[in-house]
Every structure is written in C-alpha cells, then in structure tokens.
C-alpha cells in the first residue's frame, strides 16, 4: 500500500492502462514543461498574466485540491532555424505545501502533472522547480501507476544535466569577468551531494584547475562518499566554508530561503544561485558580492511564451530555466529519452553532450545581469 493517498499506486492491475492521450489535441510532437508558482503570493499575478482570473486570489487549500493544467504554449526557434512547440503544465504545487507539512499533497501534484503530460502525448517533459526534487526526495520512481495511467519515465527528464552544465559554464565565464583566477580560487558547493551538486563537483574537479573545493551538505555519509569519489574536497559546515570561498555554488533547494550575512563573505565573492527558489539576489546586496541566477540560459532568439514573464523571469523573452531548456534540446535533437534521470547519474560526457546541443541551438549561460 502506498502512502500517496489518491494515487492508485499499486492496485490498478485491472484498469486499462493509458500511455497516450485518448484525446491528443496536438498534431505534432511537443515537448513539455512541468512547473509551478514560486509562492502562493505569486499565484495571483501568474493567474492574471496567463488570463486565468478564476485561479487568482485563491488560498493554499484551493491549490491543494486543484488539478494540473496545461496553461501555456511555448514556441522556440533554434539558431539552426528549426522550430518546435511545447506545453507548460502548472502542477498546482506550491513550496508552501512543503513548509506546511503537506508532503502527500506535493507528491500528488507532481505525479498528477506527470500523468497529465503523458495523457497529452508530450514527447519529453522536464520536471521544473521543485518537481524533480519532490520526485527524487519522496522516491516516486516506485509509483508507476497514477489512476489508469502507467507512467512512462522515458518521457520525463529532470533537466539536471543541462542545469549542471550551465552552472559550471557560469562559474567559468563569470570568474573570467570578475578576474577571479580559478587556479587560486576556493569554490564552495552548497548542496554538493545532490544530483546537480555532485555533477558540478565532478566537472570542477575534472575540467578546471580550482585550488580548493569545499563540500557542504546535510548528510555526512553521502559527503564522505562524494569526497572518496572525487579524491579531493574538504567537508565543512556552511558557516565554516562561506568566509573561505571565492565562489559559492548554491544548489541546495529549500522551501524556505536561508539568510547569509554578506559581512562574512570574501570580497570579491561570486555566488551562483542555482537553488530554487532564487532569491539570494534580493537578500544579499553588498559591494564586492556578485550574485548570479544559476542554471538559467539565455536564448539567442525570442521565445514565444507567457509563462516566463508570469513566473517573474527578468528577461522573459530570452531567459529560461536550463532544466526546461533540456526538454527543448531533447525535442530539437529528437532524443526522446529521459536524458537526466535517477540521482547522481550525471556524467561529464553527458554534460558535454547536452552542452554541445545547447550551443548548437542558441542557448548560452546567463552572464549579463548579475545582481549585487
């Protein structure tokens, strides 16, 4: 018996499985993006921006029982001239569900959104924001059946390979811009044992000549395993590591943000805020501290969508989350596979592969508007 009430996780053996939409409204392959509002407060603006006033001014209880919705069509043109379309599905998840101990609700939101994407027949769908974190944290790969839909995990990607690649490129490029020599730099990775964090550590270890690597995470056993795997790195607490770091890669995702006192940071200091939600730019403002939104790509051409504006992207026509970018790249390249799946499976080869596709189709790491 599953703990995910409402999800017929183990008992649908007699129900006819639906792997594709019985009402597929699309005449061509489309990629998918599963996302959510960064906060309850933001849902009001997002609903209005998307022309859904019915969903504005609703409380947390409403969202806890709201179904997933395909609310936006996203059109992207590659630098090669190729054009593709996708659907943005709002799962109805809110970070407040985690802070209010509504884990079961969060699980239902993610699985229902995935079932919805599959029923719409979307080719490959990225799990954006907290979706992949909820999926991984609550071990949802054990839940293959959502009502009469047998989830086909080959149709989903966390997008973490592209995100990790972009964050690493942001470190490299921003270091140049700030005249931070990597060979003399100490890099702290907060959330080092996570899927993205461990990939970033691997890349920094193998493809850069950084002087020191500080590993920060909550689980000691995983940290030890990571250090053994890398053959280097110092395991420190957050408080110990922050004053030592020239570059901080923040890839821990927490429903509540953390407070960092800028006085304890080195100057200059580069912070790549690759966690979710991104709010360090507004929280940390001090001379010599440069905060850059991590895991964001800038596209060479305008992206036709309303959702990026709605969720508050600074340049919504050009900027998107790299994880969403990954499903676009998989669609461009017709790599219909769960390119990023399961924890700590990202390799440098896969980062290079998705990175090559990223460059080919006109995506580049966000560098131009560091905050702070």
Partner 1 sequence: MPQLEAPAAIDYQSETYKDAYSRINAIVIEGEDEAASNYVRLAELMPTHAEELADLAKMEARHKKGFTACGKNLNVTPDMDFAKKFFSDLHGNFQVAAAGGNIVTCLLIQALIIEAFAISAYNVYIPHADDFARKITESVVKDEYLHLNFGEQWLKANFESAKAELERANRENLAIVWRMLDEVAADALVLGMEKEALMEDFTIAYQEALQNIGFTTRETLRMLTAGLAAAAA
Shortest Cβ 111–partner 1 spacing (Å): 11
Scanning 59-67, 198-206, 297-305, 336-344 for contacts with partner 1 by CB under 8 A, the matching segment is 59-67
Q: What is the closest distance, in whole angstroms, from the C-beta atom of residue 138 to partner 1 in the complex?
A: 6
Rounded Cα–Cα distance for residues 291 and 304 (Å): 28
Classify residue 79 by its DSSP letter: T
How many residues bind partner 1, per CB under 8 A?
Answer: 49
148 binds partner 1, rule: CB under 8 A? yes
- Give CA–CA dist 240/126, Å, rounded: 35
65 binds partner 1 (CB under 8 A): yes
Neighbour tally for 85: CB within 10 Å: 15
105 near partner 1, rule: CB under 8 A:
yes
Q: How many CB atoms lie within 10 A of CB 11?
A: 10
**Distance, CA of 89 to CA of 352 (rounded, Å):** 28
The token pair that represents 203 in the structure block: 């890349």
Q: Are strands 289-293 and 269-273 parallel, antiparallel or unpaired?
A: parallel
Given candidates 15, 154, 258, 359, which one binds partner 1 under the rule CB under 8 A? 15
- Name the residue nearer to partner 1 (CB basis): 103 or 268: 103
Task: Look at residues 36, 63, 45, 89 and name the one whose alpha carbon lies nearest to residue 310.
Answer: 45
**320 scored as a contact of partner 1 (CB under 8 A):** no
Number of H helices, E strands in the chain: 13, 16
Under rule CB under 8 A, which residues in 128-147 are in contact with partner 1?
Answer: 133, 137-138, 147
Which of 33, 46, 55, 114 is the binder for partner 1 (CB under 8 A)? 55
Closest contact distance (angstroms) between CB of 258 and partner 1 is 14
Q: Which of residues 168-227 bind partner 1 (CB under 8 A)?
A: none
Q: In whole angstroms, how close is the CB of 132 to partner 1 at the nearest point?
A: 13
Decide if residue 305 touches partner 1 (CB under 8 A): no
Residue window 250-279: x/- pattern of binding to partner 1, with contact defined by CB under 8 A: ----xx------------------------
Measured CA to CA, the distance from residue 19 to residue 223 in angstroms comes to 39
Per CB under 8 A, 27 contacts partner 1: no
DSSP reduced 3-state for 126: strand
* Distance between CA atoms of residues 54 and 69, nearest Å: 13
In Å, what is the CA distance from 195 to each residue of 190, 300, 359?
12, 28, 23
Give the residues lining the site for partner 1 (CB under 8 A). 1-16, 22-23, 51-52, 54-55, 61, 64-71, 98, 101-105, 107-108, 112, 116, 119, 133, 137-138, 147-148, 254-255
């Amino acid at each position: 018996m599953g703990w995910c009430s409402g999800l017929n996780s183990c008992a649908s053996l007699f129900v006819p499985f639906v792997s594709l939409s019985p009402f597929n409204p699309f005449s061509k392959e489309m990629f998918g993006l599963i996302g959510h509002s960064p906060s309850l407060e933001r849902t009001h603006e997002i609903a209005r921006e998307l022309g859904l006033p019915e969903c504005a001014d609703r409380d947390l209880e409403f969202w806890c029982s709201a179904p997933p919705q395909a609310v936006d069509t996203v059109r992207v043109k590659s630098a090669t001239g190729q054009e593709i379309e996708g659907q943005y599905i709002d799962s109805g998840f809110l970070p407040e569900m985690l802070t209010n101990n509504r884990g079961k609700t969060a699980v239902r939101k993610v699985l229902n959104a995935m079932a919805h994407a599959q029923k719409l027949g979307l080719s490959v769908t990225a799990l954006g924001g907290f979706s992949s974190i909820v999926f991984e944290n609550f071990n949802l790969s054990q839940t293959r059946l959502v009502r009469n839909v047998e989830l086909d995990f080959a149709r989903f990607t966390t997008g973490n390979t592209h995100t990790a690649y972009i964050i690493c490129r942001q470190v490299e490029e921003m270091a140049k811009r700030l005249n931070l020599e990597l060979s003399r730099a100490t890099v702290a990775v907060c959330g080092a044992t996570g899927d993205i964090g461990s990939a970033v550590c691997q890349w920094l270890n193998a493809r850069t000549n950084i002087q020191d690597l500080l590993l920060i995470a909550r689980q000691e056993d995983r940290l030890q395993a990571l250090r053994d795997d890398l053959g280097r790195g110092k395991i420190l607490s957050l408080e110990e590591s922050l004053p030592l770091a020239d570059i901080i890669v923040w890839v821990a995702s927490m429903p509540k943000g953390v407070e960092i006192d800028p006085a304890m940071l080195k100057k200059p200091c580069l912070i790549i805020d690759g966690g979710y939600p991104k709010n360090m730019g507004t929280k940390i403002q001090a001379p010599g501290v440069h905060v850059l939104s991590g895991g964001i790509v800038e596209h060479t051409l305008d992206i036709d969508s309303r959702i990026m504006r709605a969720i508050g992207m600074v340049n919504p026509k050009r900027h998107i989350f790299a994880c969403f970018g990954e499903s676009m790249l998989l669609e461009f390249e017709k790599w219909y596979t769960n390119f990023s799946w399961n924890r700590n499976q990202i390799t440098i080869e896969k980062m290079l592969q998705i990175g090559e596709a990223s460059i080919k189709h006109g995506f580049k790491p966000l560098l131009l508007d560091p905050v702070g």
